[in-house]
Structure 1
């Protein structure tokens, strides 16, 4: 009997860096039977609809891969999953024999990612170090730093490839 799979999270904001983090997780940490969960954080203004009030605290239900591309589902959550991300997920689920899921939270990514780790709960989180624009990041502080300092599970930060070093 294989041990039941681990729950591995990837924080997704659909930036190139978060796609890179997703690919890195699939290539480096995913094993057969794992559950890989895309954790998507939406800004507050997106949940005026009634049902979102219910999920404000706990996030959406876990959404299976089959529903990622359903227009009704995506519309309900006000999300457009990039074809590239969908492609990566479908391929990974087949090739690696894992379960791909998605969970959506509303609010401050720093808080919500830490909550996701405890709520789901996650055995590991992969996050890109570049998502927010520079200005936003200056105001909000680095999401990846906050998560690393507060997470209750191991976190891997995947760095964006930048030609200029600071």
Structure 2
């Protein structure tokens, strides 16, 4: 009986999406691999994190350096980018044929991606976090940091970091 309840329970899978092909590959992988036949319903939560606008110590300095039009333009660019990423993610959903009912929630956060993702996973009650990997080498990872590495160490739910296959060139 308990097993039946678990199969009927809606699985909450958070998929971190962003502009990269690696991110969309991870979403596609998730759709193809995390929906067992006996699962009645799954909830996919798409999470996109916008970088914050620059913060200055004085609002007067911000207005002086960036007029109201410039700040509004930066905010609009962030909203447009988030919408673009979500449209790409929806296209991935349409391309994957599945018999399972999938409910999709879209969430957009603002801030440092590793912190926003880690917090959102807890807040959203995720059963698993799926994210892509840029597969940076040692030096790039040391300089830029790795969001997926940070999340793998800090999230409290199971996680899957999906690497995009390398294309063989002849």
TM-score normalised by structure 2 residue count: 0.67
1:12 corresponding residue in structure 2: 17
Matches within 5 A, 1:22-61: 22-30=27-35, 31-45=39-53
The 1-side partners of 2:160 and 2:30 are apart by 9
Quote the RMSD (CA, aligned, Å).
Answer: 3.2
Cα 1:159/1:141, change in 2 over 3 Å: same
- Residue 111 (structure 2) aligns with: 107
For structure 2, the 5+ residue unaligned runs are 55-75
Which of 1 and 2 has greater Rg?
A: 2
Task: Return the TM-score normalized by structure 1.
Answer: 0.69
2:153 to 137, 149, 155: 149
- The size of the alignment, in residue pairs, is 138
Matched, 1:81 2:80: no
The answer on whether the counterparts of 1:12 and 1:18 sit within 8 Å (CA) in structure 2 is yes
Please give the secondary structure, in 2, of the residue aligned with 1:105. Answer: strand
Unaligned runs of 5+ in 1: 47-73
Please point out which of 107, 122, 125 is paired with 2:126: 122
